[in-house]
């Protein structure tokens, strides 16, 4: 049976507004396109002046990966102390994680702007490995099964959002690569203060107050083992089709 990757990205005055994707059978392409277009025109960042929808046949078997378990962290807490604690328990170098957190809040691109994709940070030395320091690295060709989505909705209850589903699917793919240890994400939407720290073998720590409200910067940091082959990692993140179950 053939599957297709349907991708949408929307922008306004050349600035990214939203993007989403699905992996579907031929008979479900139309429905997926309608959902994605609907999403493009109903985003809190405003109406797009450009929407691109791309449909590609997937020419290889789709790999099943496990959706990470979610741990919610709400209330008032100090993000840096929490990151430090989680990093320590997970055997990650604390300074490297805290440095990445500060860098994302300052804008991780060389000119201090927000990177579209993720930076790749080597552990324990903290070196930045992404070849393009402005664009970073992006993971695509991924989706979540209907059953996993149903269970996630049930578990998250009223705290369920489409952002959660997409972020969790994305980071589950990123962490499924053997040399990836963890990922930290802070939204660059000034009104969305929920981010996450996902850790291999542990799960997705959903941080409801990862940055102050109104803060315009954010981004993603992927932590990898020192010596990780970055070319192979990037190829996996971009090209290997996965479905989180
Ligand atoms: C969530 O758990 O609600 C998603 C957090 C990450 C959001 C990333 C983004 O939308 O930029």
Q: Identify whether residues 141 and 171 lie together within a single domain.
A: yes
Number of domains in the chain: 2
User: What is the pTM for the complete model shown?
Assistant: 0.95
Are 28 and 74 in the same domain?
no
244 Cβ below 6 A of ligand 1: no
Of 128, 130, 126, nearest in space to 116 by CA: 130
Ligand 1 pocket, mutate which of 162, 195, 219, 222 (most atoms under 8 A from CB): 195
* Mutation pick for ligand 1 pocket among 192, 211, 220 (CB with most ligand atoms within 8 Å): 192
Helices 162-175 and 146-156 pack at an angle, to 10 degrees, of 120
In this prediction the ipTM stands at: 0.96
Distance (Å) of CA 16 to CA 2, 40, 67, 110: 30, 11, 27, 19
Residue 20: which domain range? 3-59
What's the pLDDT tens digit per position in 149-208? 999 999 999 999 999 999 999 999 999 999 999 999 999 989 999 999 999 999 999 999
CB atoms within 10 A of CB 88: 12
Atom of ligand 1 nearest to the CA of 187: 11
Does residue 8 sit in the same domain as residue 95? no
Residue 190 shares a structural domain with residue 97: yes
Q: How far is residue 100's CA from residue 130's CA, in Å, rounded to a whole number?
A: 13
Nearest CA residue ID for atom 4, ligand 1: 164
> Could you give the strand order of the β-sheet that contains 63-65, starting from the edge strand earlier in sequence?
63-65, 242-244, 142-144
194-242 pLDDT, tens digit each: 999 999 999 999 999 999 999 999 999 999 999 999 999 999 999 999 9
């Amino acid at each position: 049976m053939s599957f297709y990757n349907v991708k949408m990205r929307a922008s306004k005055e050349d600035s990214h507004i939203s993007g989403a994707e699905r992996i579907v059978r031929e008979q479900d392409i139309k429905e997926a396109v309608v959902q994605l277009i609907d999403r493009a025109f109903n985003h809190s960042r405003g109406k797009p002046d450009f929407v691109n929808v791309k449909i590609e046949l997937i020419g290889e078997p789709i790999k099943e990966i496990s959706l990470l378990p979610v741990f919610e962290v709400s209330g008032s807490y100090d993000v840096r102390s929490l990151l430090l604690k989680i990093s320590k328990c997970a055997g990650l170098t604390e300074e490297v994680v805290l440095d990445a957190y500060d860098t994302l809040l300052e804008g991780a691109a060389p000119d201090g702007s927000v990177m579209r994709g993720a930076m790749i940070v080597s552990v324990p030395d903290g070196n930045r490995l992404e070849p393009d320091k402005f664009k970073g690295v992006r993971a695509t060709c991924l989706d979540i099964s209907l059953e996993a989505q149903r269970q996630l909705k049930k578990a998250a209850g009223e705290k369920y959002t489409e952002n959660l589903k997409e972020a969790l699917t994305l980071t589950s793919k990123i962490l499924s690569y053997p040399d990836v240890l963890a990922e930290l994400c802070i939204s660059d939407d000034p009104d969305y203060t929920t981010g996450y720290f996902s850790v291999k073998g542990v799960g997705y720590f959903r941080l409801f107050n990862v940055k102050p409200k109104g803060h315009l910067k954010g981004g993603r940091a992927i932590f990898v083992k020192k010596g990780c082959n970055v070319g192979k990692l990037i190829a996996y993140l971009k090209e290997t089709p996965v479905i989180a179950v």
